[in-house]
Structure 1
Amino acid sequence: MTDFVLVAGAWLGSWAWDEVVPELRAAGHGAHAVSLSGLAERQGVAAGQQTHVQDVVDVVERLDLRDVVLVGHSYAGIPVGQAAERIGDRLSRVVFVDSNVPADGESFVSAWPDGRAAVEASIAANGGFWAPLAAADFEGQGLDEEQIARIVGGSTPHPGATLTEPAVLAGPLGELPVTYVKCLLDGAEPNGDVAVLLESERWRLVTMETGHWPMFSRPRELARVLLDAAAPGA
């Protein structure tokens, strides 16, 4: 049995996986959706980036999980990529879902130069938090009105320090066993740093014909991608 540990991106909590978790459990696997510190039901908990890394590690260790597939969506790829190093032989695979990936000494905003000023301005104007997106920002991402309303209604401000603090990696990310899921409505090609990592023989690319939030737009298809990634020999 594989244990999936699922971490959604900025502004979201464990609830984002509500339509994916049952599919994984129905296939006979464990599925553990995580709300990171400062988000969703954990609002008010102080958090920097390393707090979020430890959140993921703590779930694995507290539940004594083995054969773990860590799943990081969007921002969450940064803490998940670091946590993957720290759980040792408990790790089976990492699945990055249309996500950022960590680089040693670099932060979320340093890896996103075009949007850095806007993110930092939002953090400064919102008491140290990155304000959630508005409904209009989800257009063109394969989501219907009900799905957009669900995301907007559930989103909470994202702790700014998690976006500006640097990642800490002990070794090359390309040495981890990884499936990278590219959602094509959010761009036809992976980012340059991901493209380089995909040259590793331990990384494989999967594409989905949907937008940046596939756990809402295509939950069953995403669950199948995750199950395939966890299969022996993947």
Structure 2
Amino acid sequence: MTTFVLIPGACHGGWWLEPVAARLRALGHRAYAPTLTGLGERRHLATATVNLDTHIQDVLGVLRNEQLEEVVLAGHSYGGMVIAGAADRAPERVSSLVFIDAFVPRDGDSCWTLTTEEQHEWYLDVGEDGHSIRPLPFFDPRATPHPLASLLQRIRLTGDLGRFARTYVYATEWDGQSPFEPFYDRYRDDPEWTVHALRSPHNVLRGNADEVLKILLDAAE
């Protein structure tokens, strides 16, 4: 039995990864798909002060309150920032990291510094509250505005992610320039990483859930 904690990307809640978590549980594993503060069913908690540290603390709360160990932490898109921060702060609870078409930060990085100009335009399209970015038109109807501060805040990492087994999943069918191509290029020939390229848009669970499930199970081994 392996324990998985699955973290969604911007504007998405635990509902996005829950179908995969349910399949993992059906196979006998423990799997959690928490919703980060200010999103999904926790939208009422959104404030201008919700930032990357808040979301890292959300994940640390799951790890510590559920007394989880030897965890496979997986993050999609923005979720890569969150799992990197959580693993750095609680390395004794984490065995493996899976970045699913996601940011892989180094100390001092932020989503803003790592992404493209096209994504910058999206980040700056804040809604009426002045501190949340709008879901993109093609997102699931359940998507909610995302706290801007979490995308701008620079991460602080005190250790090397090389302490963990690492997997990168790259979606090859972006419409335009993928902000995640630099990570794929960086790690695809690195023997310390397991790298997969999926013929998929950024929403890798739409039509590729079986492949993602297999990659998670392989990461557990």
1:202 aligns with 2:192: yes
1:197 deviation in Å? 4.6
Structure 2: which 5+ residue stretches go unaligned?
none
Q: Work out the CA distance in 2 between the residues paired with 1:80 and 1:230.
A: 16
1:106 aligns with 2:102: no
Partner residue in 2 for 1:73: 76
Q: Which secondary structure state, in structure 2, belongs to the residue aligned with residue 228 of structure 1? A: helix
* Greater relative CO (CA pairs within 8 A, separation 6+): 1
Q: Work out the CA distance in 2 between the residues paired with 1:223 and 1:99.
A: 16
Using the aligned pairs only, state the percent identity. Answer: 34
Q: Work out the CA distance in 2 between the residues paired with 1:90 and 1:114.
A: 36
Q: Work out the CA distance in 1 between the residues paired with 2:152 and 2:52.
A: 8
1:87 deviation in Å? 1.8
Q: Which secondary structure state, in structure 2, belongs to the residue aligned with residue 43 of structure 1? A: helix
1:113 deviation in Å? 4.0
Q: Work out the CA distance in 1 between the residues paired with 2:67 and 2:27.
A: 21
Q: Work out the CA distance in 1 between the residues paired with 2:13 and 2:173.
A: 23
The correspondence of residues 157-168 of structure 1 with structure 2, limited to 5 A, is: 157-168=145-156
Q: Work out the CA distance in 2 between the residues paired with 1:188 and 1:107.
A: 16
Partner residue in 2 for 1:89: 92
Residues paired across the two proteins, number: 216
Partner residue in 1 for 2:130: 127
- Tell me the TM-score normalised to structure 2 length: 0.89
Partner residue in 2 for 1:213: 203
Label 1:210 to 1:116 Cα distance change in 2 as closer, same or farther (>3 A): closer
| Contact 1:19/1:215 (8 A) holds in 2 | no
Structure 1: which 5+ residue stretches go unaligned?
136-150
The correspondence of residues 42-53 of structure 1 with structure 2, limited to 5 A, is: 42-45=42-45, 46=47, 47-53=50-56
Superposition CA RMSD, Å: 2.1
- Tell me the TM-score normalised to structure 1 length: 0.84
Which amino acid letter does the alignment assign opposite residue 166 of structure 1?
R
